[in-house]
Amino acid sequence: MKRMPVPLNIRDFSQVFRNNGHSLYVVGGAVRDWLLGIENNDWDFCTDATPEQVMAMFRSVIPTGIKHGTVTVIFRKETYEVTTFRTEGAYSDRRHPDSVNYVTDLKEDLSRRDFTVNAFAADCCDGTITDCFDGFRDLKAGIIRAIGNPAERFSEDALRLIRMCRFCSKLGFTADELTFESACSLSQTISCVSKERIYDEMSKILMTRKPSVGLNMMYETGLLKVLIPELDRCASIEQDKVGSDNVLAHILVAVDAAAYYGYSLTVRWAMLLHDIGKPSCMKKIGNFTRFFGHDMKSEEIARRVMLDLKFSNAMQEDVAVLIRNHMTRYNSSWTDGAVKRLVNRVGKQRLDMFFEVLWCDRIASDGKSGIEETDLLKERIDALADQPMTLKDLAVNGNDLYNAGIPRGPEMGRILNALLEMVIDYPTLNNRETLLGQAELLLDSKTSAGK
Ligand code: ATP
Ligand code: MG
């Protein structure tokens, strides 16, 4: 029998359950990852004690997910998420169980879980691992297999379709044949799942070491076609890139590059969506395929996708700006003004991500050529660092203009941008007095032009 080492604080915590006649287990990912030798700091616990019984055992308990039997216990300053063993009623909406019933048998609880390798439980007192569904066998063989009948499990909760792709991606596993076939035939049902859960699960795929594994599986099962049809279409568009014969293949190499370098989730989403507009921009010119204007088109489609998947506003803006500028090709003939205008377009706070996007796109296009230019552009930007490039660098702000009699609104925006244009070309003019004088002139010229 395999035993998982249980840290002392968790053993002490579980002793309280034992003293009250109950048991405590760590379940799911933490046990699976320990068996695989992967670090996992997200420990989920389950118990035969009801939430009320858990609440009676400890002084500090927060009913975080009480509807599903989950409470958060604070014990010696550590927090523990504990869920009562449960079975689930029918899933008429393919996303939530109609009812949840508490049970006292561990096996019953494990049988409601999604995949065999996610259904291990380790006793928190002595670490012994329970494996009711041949999880050890599948872990050894590198297989993601639904527990019981795959079609039934996917019909209960369609999110499991993407979870299958995520675990294959995270663990480098393949899906069991029957599980995979069921996923293919049920791919349409993914549209029943809330967009927030889809965003979370896809983000988790993007954060794996090789996201292309999970994303490819989303493509093969038909999930991508339902969720982001424009991205799915990229697979049927041929292009002349080294190493990738179609646009989706190129995109996936770029996403893997972002993962390889440990770049942020924002950059990974940007890489996933950076060429999504190519299918609508494709032109055949002789033997070549060209995609004029695809940066703008990709931004437009990406904004729609991000809105649909309920990205935060900040994330939408970051990804959109990165996509819009991903075709930037620097050469030494650029004026200082052109360099500064680029910084203004991208935003200083996004410069690192901007260079990361260029780098991943290059790697996925033609190896590493063009990197020298990127380094030179970085040097140019550094050399101009103390010159004004963005509205924040102006010696006046909106309040100053307001106090000088310029009404707030689009007119003020127009004047601030005109002042910025001026100081980008003539940095010495960036002082309060000159700018306020110029602002008044700009306002007057607008007013007299309107007469
Ligand atoms: P990770 O370490 O990547 O978070 P995990 O296995 O811990 O992986 P979680 O999403 O944290 O995954 O879920 C914890 C456990 O809860 C899973 O291992 C699984 O047993 C169960 N589980 C979670 N979501 C579902 C679901 N939608 N359907 C069935 N079981 C689920
Ligand atoms: Mg987890």
The continuous run of DSSP H or E covering 18 comes out as helix 8-19
On whether both 36 and 100 belong to a single domain, the answer is yes
The CATH number covering residue 126 comes to 3.30.460.10
Nearest CA to ligand 1 atom 22: 113
Structure tokens at 365: 């296009």
In the listed set 197, 227, 257, which residue is the last one of a domain according to the structure?
Answer: 227
Nearest CA to ligand 1 atom 30: 113
Ordered per-residue pLDDT tens for the chain, 451 residues? 789 999 999 999 999 999 999 999 999 999 999 999 999 888 999 999 999 999 999 999 999 998 889 999 999 999 999 999 998 877 777 777 888 899 999 999 999 999 999 999 999 999 999 999 999 999 999 999 999 999 999 999 999 999 999 999 999 999 999 999 999 999 999 999 999 999 999 999 999 999 999 999 999 999 999 999 999 999 999 887 666 689 999 999 999 999 999 999 999 999 999 999 999 988 888 888 889 899 999 999 999 999 999 999 999 999 999 999 999 999 999 999 999 999 999 999 999 999 999 999 998 987 666 678 888 999 999 999 999 999 999 999 999 999 988 889 998 999 999 999 999 999 999 999 999 999 989 887 766 555 4
On whether both 215 and 258 belong to a single domain, the answer is no
On whether both 100 and 221 belong to a single domain, the answer is no
The CATH number covering residue 358 comes to 1.10.3210
In the listed set 113, 141, 169, which residue is the last one of a domain according to the structure?
Answer: 141
Ligand 1: nearest atom to the Cα of 44: 14
Distance 29 CA to ligand 1 centre (A): 6
Domain that holds residue 321: 238-385
On whether both 193 and 252 belong to a single domain, the answer is no
Helix (H, G, I), strand (E, B) or coil at 84: strand
In the listed set 385, 420, 438, which residue is the last one of a domain according to the structure?
Answer: 385
On whether both 107 and 125 belong to a single domain, the answer is yes
On whether both 149 and 115 belong to a single domain, the answer is no
Residue of 114, 115, 139 best suited for mutating to test ligand 1, as the one with most atoms within 8 Å of CB = 114
Domains held by the chain: number: 4
CB of 147 closer than 8 Å to CB of 111? yes
Nearest CA to ligand 1 atom 28: 114
CB of 121 closer than 8 Å to CB of 25? yes
Helix (H, G, I), strand (E, B) or coil at 143: strand
The CA distance from 215 to 237, in Å, is 17
Structure tokens at 364: 């996925």
On whether both 86 and 171 belong to a single domain, the answer is no
Contact residues for 257 (Cβ-Cβ < 8 A; gap 6+): 271, 359, 360, 363, 364
On whether both 263 and 347 belong to a single domain, the answer is yes
On whether both 187 and 262 belong to a single domain, the answer is no
CB of 255 closer than 8 Å to CB of 268? yes
The CA distance from 302 to 321, in Å, is 11
- What single-letter DSSP state applies at residue 238? E
The CATH number covering residue 161 comes to 1.10.110.30
Distance 115 CA to ligand 1 centre (A): 9
On whether both 124 and 211 belong to a single domain, the answer is no
